[in-house]
Each structure stands twice: as structure tokens, then as C-alpha cells.
């Protein structure tokens, strides 16, 4: 069973401008982290994703555990550390011991949210140099 139907590639240069994403709400994001980032910028990105409607983040690449933690903390902050309705719940996973193919396969076929079904996935590529065709094809083949 394929869960997501449409993939969007967004290259995010370290410390670059954050893209408008609310038109995709709610959505799943796969952070493919090829370049280093500092903690404050990672927090800014995590807050932006949560407020834009990202309800499931899969982090892969450099410092992916830190990205997952920042996303979890941003979700807690966004909802004032309170319980939320199931459709507002935010989930995050880190995949530091897996190949990217496995992460893409998991996102397409097994990742699930308790209350939402995602029709859009954002491949958020944190990198100075983009690879849109390669990553979108890799995701489609998963």
C-alpha cells in the first residue's frame, strides 16, 4: 500500500530562506540532510515545519537525531506542551543506521499517522547543491 501520492522536492541551503509550505498542510516531510547546520537554524526550520503543517518528519543524514529532537521540541512548543487532538499530533523519526532507499520505502509504504493520511510528501534536501531529479526518482522507485 502506497501512502503518499505526490512528492515535492525543496532544496534548503543551510541558513537559507524557509519555503512557504502551508498550501500542502497536512504533509509528511523527509529531511535529507547532506550539509552541517547549527542548532539555532535547525530549531528555526523545525518550528517552521510544524507551523506550516508538517505532521510527520523522517530525518536522514547528518545529525538526523538532532533534527528529530528539534522537531519534537518544536511540536511541543507549538501546542504549549499540552495534549493535542489526534489530527494535530506530530511524529518524528530518525534514520541514522538506514540507507536512504529504506527511508523512502518506509515513507511510501509503512509510515502512518494516528489520524491523518498524507497525500503530499516534501523531500526537504538540506544541501548547498541540489539533487532534485535524483532524489525524486529514488523516492518514486522506493
Strand order in the sheet with 6-12: 6-12, 120-126, 27-33, 54-61, 91-94
The proportion of the chain whose per-residue pLDDT surpasses 90, expressed as a percent, equals 89
Contact 58, 118 (CB under 8 A): no
Rounded distance between C-alpha atoms, residue 59 and residue 38, angstroms: 16
Which residue segments constitute the domains of the chain, with CATH numbers given? 6-141 (3.90.190)
Give the whole-angstrom CA distance, residue 16 versus residue 124.
12
What band does 1 get if pLDDT is binned at 50, 70 and 90?
very low
Instruction: Indicate the pTM of the whole model.
Output: 0.94
Region 79-93 average pLDDT? 92
Of 79, 40, 42, the closest CA to residue 57 belongs to: 42
Residue 4 confidence (pLDDT): 53
Amino acid at each position: 500500500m502506497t501512502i503518499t501520492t505526490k512528492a515535492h522536492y525543496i532544496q534548503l541551503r543551510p541558513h537559507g530562506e524557509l519555503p512557504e509550505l502551508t498550501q500542502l498542510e497536512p504533509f509528511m516531510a523527509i529531511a535529507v540532510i547532506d550539509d552541517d547546520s547549527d542548532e539555532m537554524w535547525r530549531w528555526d526550520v523545525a518550528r517552521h515545519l510544524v507551523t506550516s503543517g508538517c505532521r510527520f518528519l523522517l530525518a536522514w543524514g547528518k545529525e538526523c537525531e538532532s533534527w528529530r529532537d528539534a522537531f519534537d521540541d518544536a511540536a511541543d512548543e507549538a501546542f504549549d506542551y499540552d495534549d493535542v487532538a489526534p489530527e494535530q499530533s506530530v511524529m518524528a523519526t530518525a534514520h541514522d543506521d538506514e540507507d536512504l532507499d529504506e527511508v523512502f520505502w518506509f515513507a511510501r509504504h509503512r509510515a502512518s499517522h494516528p489520524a491523518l493520511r498524507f497525500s503530499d510528501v516534501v523531500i526537504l534536501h538540506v544541501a548547498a547543491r541540489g539533487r532534485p531529479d535524483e532524489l525524486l526518482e529514488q523516492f518514486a522507485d522506493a
